[in-house]
Chain A
Amino acid sequence: EPEVTQTPSHQVTQMGQEVILRCVPISNHLYFYWYRQILGQKVEFLVSFYNNEISEKSEIFDDQFSVERPDGSNFTLKIRSTKLEDSAMYFCASSLQGSEQYFGPGTRLTVT
């Protein structure tokens, strides 16, 4: 069964550094999403992406964040200058028609 994959599973970075989280969505899916989950808190929507552009974003997704689909298979989330409060689990998801979303296993980001 096709699934969403994410790399790395765990990323440790120093405050102020740039990080890129990578996702490979399910191959025939057209909608892509990033979510984050701070430890012990609920999952929060960050951004949705369709037709090579951002279709919706939350107030969390500020100028420090960007997304890209560089090669037709990968979907990346970049955080330009990480802060301590960016430490969280980041989930990528994809869907075929904007309905059922399939989540990846997540990348745990630790900012020190």
Chain B
Amino acid sequence: KNQVEQSPQSLIILEGKNCTLQCNYTVSPFSNLRWYKQDTGRGPVSLTIMTFSENTKSNGRYTATLDADTKQSSLHITASQLSDSASYICVVRPGGGNKLTFGTGTQLKVEL
């Protein structure tokens, strides 16, 4: 069964600090992996999309990595801001379909 697992479940950091979120998946065949940011009560917003051949991709202060051999990904947030407080969701698209598999997300809280 296709699954996406994320860790940690929740995380509290101080403003200005960096953090790294983890994602492991068992989706096969694999097409791409996405990281979304979801604010409370809002729809997910895409941060990065990576295909099988991409190892790293950046979007401003967000940098995602992908190891397709070990089926692991990470999202690194640099110099966190209060507005980064949200749920960060790892999502995998299988090859040959549009049915995205979502992780349960990491709830990040950035404090002063």
| CB of A43 closer than 8 Å to a CB of B | yes
Query: Which residues of A lie under 8 Å from residue B103 when comparing CB positions?
Result: 42
B82 at the interface (CB under 8 A from A): no
Check: A55 CB closer than 8 A to any chain B CB.
yes
Q: Evaluate contact between B89 and A43: CB separation under 8 angstroms.
A: yes
Q: Which residues of B contact A4 (CB under 8 A)?
A: 43
| Residue of chain A at shortest CB distance from B32 | A99
With both beta carbons as reference points, the residue of chain A lying nearest to B105 in the complex is identified as: A42
User: With a CB–CB cut-off of 8 A, which chain A residues contact B53?
Assistant: none
Contacts of A44 in B (CB 8 A): 102
Contact B104 A42 (CB under 8 A): yes
Q: Which residues from chain B contact A89 at a C-beta distance below 8 Å?
A: 41
**Contact A100:B46 (CB < 8 A) given known A41-B104, A42-B105, A43-B89:** yes
In this complex, which of B42, B49, B105 has the most chain A Cβ atoms within 10 angstroms of its Cβ? B42
Question: Interface extent on A, as a size class?
Answer: 20 to 34
Q: Are A106 and B41 in contact (CB under 8 A)?
A: yes
Q: Is there a chain A Cβ closer than 8 Å to B98's Cβ?
A: yes
- CB of A98 within 8 A of chain B? yes
Asked whether, in the complex, the Cβ of B46 is within 8 Å of the Cβ of A101, the reply is yes
Would you call B43 and A91 a contact (CB within 8 A)?
yes
Residue of A nearest to B96 (CB): A56
Q: What are the interface flags for B82-98 relative to A under an 8 Å C-beta threshold, 1 for contact and 0 otherwise?
A: 00000001010000011
